[in-house]
Amino acid sequence: MAFSDYRTALVTGASSGIGAAVVERLCREGLEVHALARSAPALQVLADRTGCVAHAMDVTDLAGLTALAGATAFDIVVNNAGVDRPGSLLQADAEGIDLLVDVNLRAVLQLCRLTLPGMMARNRGHIVNISSIAGTYHFGGNTTYHATKAAIHMLSRQLRIDACGKQVRVTEICPGRVETEIFGHVHGDSAATRERFVEGFALPQASDIADAIAFALAAPQAVNVGMIEIMPTLQVPGGLTTLRADHDHGHV
Ligand SMILES: NC(=O)c1ccc[n+]([C@@H]2O[C@H](COP(=O)([O-])OP(=O)(O)OC[C@H]3O[C@@H](n4cnc5c(N)ncnc54)[C@H](OP(=O)(O)O)[C@@H]3O)[C@@H](O)[C@H]2O)c1
């Protein structure tokens, strides 16, 4: 299927980073692109630059999502909005857990519920879910984030079963570290944050992720690109911890 067979797209988390790059890319392909995020000014700047339709909305606003999905028949839905709270479950607070489940998982489930039936009825559609290597590998910290992204990984696989029989495709994009504003959003926008996560690292850009999504969207109809994992060349997940029974507890 060429891009031209898809006419409308909804991108969540569109005010910065990967979402903004995806909006930009899909607008360039001539689609009617609806961009959703909470920051109205940032969305306005994006709309002025790309011609997208801005929706200043919280992705946890179920009534808002329902109205949006009812008003437009989306051919493409990119579930990209995501948040993180660093730390293991030992440092987690109740509010942080609720926020990550609400934004990273509950909203994605609701938006799929609201848009997939229409795609099935029209026999045309594509859901793109942005997970993370945190959903498929274990490494230290951000435990709630890992759990929500693992759910997105399985949801994407399960959705392909739900959609089977129609020309509806589901693609999971699984990034490692990408140079976006996420580190400032999670750890505070500072020189120290940039030094820790960005400066001196050779990282994929948001536009690289948008290009991968474009590849999946533009693939022939017979081709469902199920999952694309994209990491920096100089990043690799994995590890194994084995402690002696008499280990120094202070170091764990
Ligand atoms: N960058 C990475 O290294 C990386 C790696 C793996 C996976 N990812 C995933 O990629 C996706 C995009 O991340 P990014 O790096 O582009 O991060 P980002 O620059 O922080 O962008 C996150 C976007 O989500 C939106 N958002 C957050 N909470 C929202 C809410 N309640 N309702 C609506 N929109 C909301 C933000 O907009 P507002 O604040 O304006 O609402 C923003 O547009 C996320 O799902 C993230 O988990 C990123």
Q: Ligand 1: does its nearest atom lie under 6 Å from the Cβ of 185?
A: yes
- pLDDT the model gives residue 241: 87
The protein residue whose alpha carbon is closest to atom 17 in ligand 1 is 182
- pLDDT the model gives residue 141: 83
Indicate which atom in ligand 1 lies nearest the CA of residue 60: 31
Q: Ligand 1: does its nearest atom lie under 6 Å from the Cβ of 39?
A: yes
Among 116, 145, 169, 179, the active-site one is 145
Any idea which of 8-17, 71-80, 137-146, 158-167 has the lowest mean pLDDT? 137-146
Asked whether the beta carbons of 127 and 81 are under 8 A apart, the reply is no
Cβ-in-10-Å burial (0-12, 13-18, 19+) of 85 comes to middle
Q: Is 145 a catalytic residue?
A: yes
Long-range contacts formed by 85-92: CB under 8 A, 24+ apart: 85/142, 85/144, 85/145, 85/186, 86/141, 86/142, 86/186, 86/187, 87/141, 87/142, 87/143, 88/140, 88/141, 88/143, 89/143, 89/144, 92/143, 92/144
Per CATH, domain 3-251 is 3.40.630.10: no
Indicate which atom in ligand 1 lies nearest the CA of residue 203: 3
CA of 181 to the centre of ligand 1 (A): 8
Cβ-in-10-Å burial (0-12, 13-18, 19+) of 247 comes to exposed
Q: What mean pLDDT value characterizes the chain?
A: 96
User: 104-138 burial by CB neighbour count: b if 16+ within 10 A, else e?
Assistant: bbbbbebbbebbbebbbeeebbbbbbbbbbbbbbe
Indicate which atom in ligand 1 lies nearest the CA of residue 178: 3
CA of 37 to the centre of ligand 1 (A): 9
User: 43-71 burial by CB neighbour count: b if 16+ within 10 A, else e?
Assistant: beebbeebebbbbbbebbbeeebeebbee
Q: Ligand 1: does its nearest atom lie under 6 Å from the Cβ of 13?
A: yes
Q: What's the CA gap between 190 and 18, in Å, rounded?
A: 20
pLDDT-based confidence at residue 252 (cuts at 50, 70, 90): very low
Helix, strand, coil shares of the chain as percentages rounded to 5?
A: 45, 15, 40
CA of 182 to the centre of ligand 1 (A): 6
The protein residue whose alpha carbon is closest to atom 20 in ligand 1 is 182
CA of 176 to the centre of ligand 1 (A): 14
The protein residue whose alpha carbon is closest to atom 18 in ligand 1 is 182
Sheet (strand 32-37) strand order: 53-56, 32-37, 8-12, 76-79, 125-130, 168-175, 227-230
Residue 179 is given by DSSP the state B
Reported as a single tens digit per residue, the pLDDT across 180-215 is 999 999 999 999 999 999 999 999 999 999 999 999
Reported as a single tens digit per residue, the pLDDT across 11-46 is 999 999 999 999 999 999 999 999 999 999 999 999
Asked whether the beta carbons of 60 and 36 are under 8 A apart, the reply is no
* Residue of 10, 12, 15 to mutate, ligand 1, most atoms within 8 A of C-beta: 15
CA of 59 to the centre of ligand 1 (A): 11
